[in-house]
C-alpha cells in the first residue's frame, strides 16, 4: 500500500519517510498540501500522514479537500500535530481525519496506527469486492440470491460449533467464522463462465454438460487467485479462493477438481461442501422438488467420512435445530417473493 507523507518541514518529512521505509512501506512525500491533492488524483495512494501546521494549505484544509474530492477509493488520513487539546483533536476528526497523533511522535506508535488503518481499508476493500462479485454471480441465476444467504448462515453455524473443539482453537476462531460468513457467497463465482444453456438448463445435465459445469470450481479459484496476486494485502481472498476451489472436493478423495482428500481439503472448503449439499437437497429447483430436512440429514449422516468430514457432520448435527430454523425462515421469504412475482404477473395479464 502506498502512503503519502505531507509536511512543509523537510527535516520532519525525511524523519517520517525514513521511519516508514525502514518498516517496509512504500512512501511518497511532498511539502505542499496542494501538491498532495494532485498526487492523490494521479496515484493509487490509500493513506495520507499529514502535519497540521503548514503554510498555504494546512492539514485541516487538506483533510477537507480530500473528503470533498470524488476519488475512486477511500483515503485514510492520520493527522500529526503538536496541538493536543481535546478541542483540537475534535476539529481534526471533524475535518475528516481518521486518526490523530501528537508530536513529537513515537515511531512504534505511528507504525501501530498505520497497521490499524490498513485493517480498516482491508475491511472496506473486502466488503466492496465480495458484494460486487456476489452480485455478478447472482445476475446469472435468479435462484442464487437466497442460496447465498442460506448457505452463509449454515456455514456460520457449523463453524461456530467447530470452534468449540479445543484441538481446532488455533485454526477456527471468531475471525475465521466471520471471514467464512463474509466470503462464502463467492463459492460459485466461477459459474459466470458457464454457458447459459448449461447453467440454466431446466433438467438433468448430460455427462458432457456436467463436465463443463464442473469447471466452475477451478475457474472461480483461478479468478480469485488472480485478484489476490494484484492485491496481496487482501487476505480474505485466500479463503474465498480456497472455498471456490474445494467446495466440491470429497473427504474420501473422489471429488473435483483436484481429487483432494481428508486434511488436504481446507476447513473452509469442507464446511462449505456440506452446507452447499444440504441447501441443494432442501431447495426447490425448476427440475426438482425440495426434499425434507430429515431426508437431507439422513444423506449427510450416511456420507460422514465419505463425502463429508466426520467433524463437520457432527457440528452440523449439533446445530441441527438452528439450521432448520434458518431453512424455514428463507423458505418463507422465498414463498413470499414468489407470491409477489405471481401477483404482478397476474396484474399484467389482466
Q: Is the peptide bond before 157 cis (omega within 30 degrees of 0)?
A: no
d(CA 59, CA 245): 47
**Distances, alpha carbon 332 to alpha carbons 84, 302, 326, in Å:** 56, 28, 10
Return the closest-CA partner of residue 190 out of 225, 166, 160, 157.
225
pLDDT, one tens digit per residue, over 182-209 is 899 899 988 888 888 898 888 889 999 9
Residues 288 and 223 in one domain: yes
Cell readout for 342 is 405471481
The CA distances from residue 63 to 31, 83, 194, in Å, are: 15, 16, 46
> Do 215 and 282 share a structural domain?
yes
Report the CATH number at residue 90: 3.40.50.2300
pLDDT digits (tens, 9 = 90+) for 8-67: 989 989 999 999 999 889 999 999 999 999 999 888 898 999 999 898 899 999 999 998
Q: 249 in a domain, yes or no?
A: yes
In a domain, 154, yes or no: yes
Q: Are residues 231 and 284 in the same domain?
A: yes
Residue 79 domain-assigned (yes or no): yes
Asked if residue 10 belongs to a domain, the reply is yes
R_g of the chain, CA atoms, integer Å:
25
Give the chain's domain count. 2
* Whether residue 89 is found in the same domain as residue 215: no
Q: Do 177 and 163 form a contact (C-beta atoms < 8 A)?
A: yes
**Domain identity same for 253 and 153:** yes
Residues 150 and 112 in one domain: no
pLDDT digits (tens, 9 = 90+) for 231-252: 676 778 899 999 999 999 999 9
| 126 in any annotated domain | no
Q: Give the domain range for residue 110.
A: 2-117
Q: What stretch of H or E contains 329?
A: helix 320-349
Of 117, 150, 181, which residue is a domain's last? 117
The answer to whether residue 83 sits within a structural domain is yes
**CATH number of the domain that residue 196 is part of:** 1.10.3210.10
Model confidence, pTM:
0.66
**Pair (49, 186) in one structural domain:** no
pLDDT at residue 341 is higher than 60: no
Amino acid at each position: 500500500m502506498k502512503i503519502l507523507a505531507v509536511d512543509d518541514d523537510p527535516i520532519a518529512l525525511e524523519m517520517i519517510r525514513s521511519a516508514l521505509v525502514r518498516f517496509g512501506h512504500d512512501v511518497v512525500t511532498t511539502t505542499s498540501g496542494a501538491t498532495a491533492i494532485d498526487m492523490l488524483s494521479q496515484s493509487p495512494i490509500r493513506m495520507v500522514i499529514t502535519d497540521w501546521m503548514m503554510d498555504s494549505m494546512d492539514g485541516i484544509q487538506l483533510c477537507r479537500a480530500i473528503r470533498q474530492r470524488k476519488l475512486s477509493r477511500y483515503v485514510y488520513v492520520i493527522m500529526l500535530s503538536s496541538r493536543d487539546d481535546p478541542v483540537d483533536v475534535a476539529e481534526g476528526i471533524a475535518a475528516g481525519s481518521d486518526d490523530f497523533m501528537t508530536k513529537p511522535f513515537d515511531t512504534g506508535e505511528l507504525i501501530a496506527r498505520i497497521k490499524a488503518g490498513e485493517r480498516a481499508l482491508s475491511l472496506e476493500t473486502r466488503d466492496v469486492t465480495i458484494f460486487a462479485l456476489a452480485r455478478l454471480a447472482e445476475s446469472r441465476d435468479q435462484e442464487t440470491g437466497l442460496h447465498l444467504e442460506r448457505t452463509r448462515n449454515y456455514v456460520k453455524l457449523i463453524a461456530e460449533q467447530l470452534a468449540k473443539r479445543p484441538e481446532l482453537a488455533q485454526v477456527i476462531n471468531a475471525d475465521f467464522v466471520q471471514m467464512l460468513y463474509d466470503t462464502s457467497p463467492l463459492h460459485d463465482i466461477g459459474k459466470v463462465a458457464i454457458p447459459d444453456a448449461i447453467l440454466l438448463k431446466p433438467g438433468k445435465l448430460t455427462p458432457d454438460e456436467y463436465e463443463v459445469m464442473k469447471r466452475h470450481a477451478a475457474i472461480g479459484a483461478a479468478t480469485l487467485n488472480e485478484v489476490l496476486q494484484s492485491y496481496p494485502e487482501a487476505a480474505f481472498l485466500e479463503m474465498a479462493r480456497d472455498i471456490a476451489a474445494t467446495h466440491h472436493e470429497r473427504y474420501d478423495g473422489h471429488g473435483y477438481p483436484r481429487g483432494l482428500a481428508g486434511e488436504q481439503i481446507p476447513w473452509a472448503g469442507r464446511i462449505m461442501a456440506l452446507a452447499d449439499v444440504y441447501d441443494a437437497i432442501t431447495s426447490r429447483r425448476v427440475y426438482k422438488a425440495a426434499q425434507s430436512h430429515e431426508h437431507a440429514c439422513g444423506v449427510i449422516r450416511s456420507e460422514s467420512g465419505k463425502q463429508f468430514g466426520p467433524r463437520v457432520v457432527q457440528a452440523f448435527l449439533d446445530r441441527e435445530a438452528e439450521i432448520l430454523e434458518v431453512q424455514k425462515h428463507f423458505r418463507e421469504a422465498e414463498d413470499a417473493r414468489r407470491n409477489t412475482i405471481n401477483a404482478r404477473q397476474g396484474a399484467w395479464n389482466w
